[in-house]
């Protein structure tokens, strides 16, 4: 359940928000500048849909390049309980760690197919969204 809090003075608080975009490796400065402007315009439009307003006095800052890393959801393997393992251990089955840590290696910048750049801008809003747990979530 989400509750909307509005400050009584309707002052605006500034937040620096970031987004990332991918681009081919070794872009020219002209190409990078055009892409930065295009992404910043889309970023402003997307944030406006969510109720944020861009504070144009600060502009946008760009950092990068970073190697492009595709987000992956890691789903840990389900370990059987001791009760489930008992008959299998009695048959001689062994339960050893397979060495899978779930950690991905990130390619170096030179080996990456795409590069990522991060742009950040200052946005304001009069409303602050907070999340309040439902009553049944508070029971322990």
Supply the pTM of this predicted model. 0.60
pLDDT at 38: 93
pLDDT at 118: 92
Positions of the chain with pLDDT under 70 = 1-11, 98-104, 128-129, 137-140
CA distance 60 to 123: 11
Q: Give 26: exposed, middle or buried? Use CB within 10 Å, 0-12, 13-18, 19+.
A: exposed
pLDDT at 56: 78
pLDDT at 79: 78
């Amino acid at each position: 359940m989400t509750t909307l809090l509005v400050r009584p003075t309707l002052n605006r608080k500034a937040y620096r928000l970031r987004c990332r975009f991918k681009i081919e490796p070794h872009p020219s400065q002209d190409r990078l500048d055009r892409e930065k402007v295009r992404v910043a315009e889309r970023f402003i439009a997307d944030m406006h849909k969510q109720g944020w307003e861009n504070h144009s006095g600060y502009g946008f800052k760009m950092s990068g390049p970073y190697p492009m890393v595709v987000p992956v959801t890691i789903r840990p393997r389900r370990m059987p309980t001791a009760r489930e393992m008992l008959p299998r251990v009695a048959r001689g089955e062994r339960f050893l760690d397979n060495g899978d840590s779930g950690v991905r290696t990130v390619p170096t910048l030179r080996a990456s197919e795409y590069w990522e750049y991060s742009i950040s801008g200052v946005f304001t809003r009069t409303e602050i969204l907070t999340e309040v747990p439902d009553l049944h979530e508070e029971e322990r």
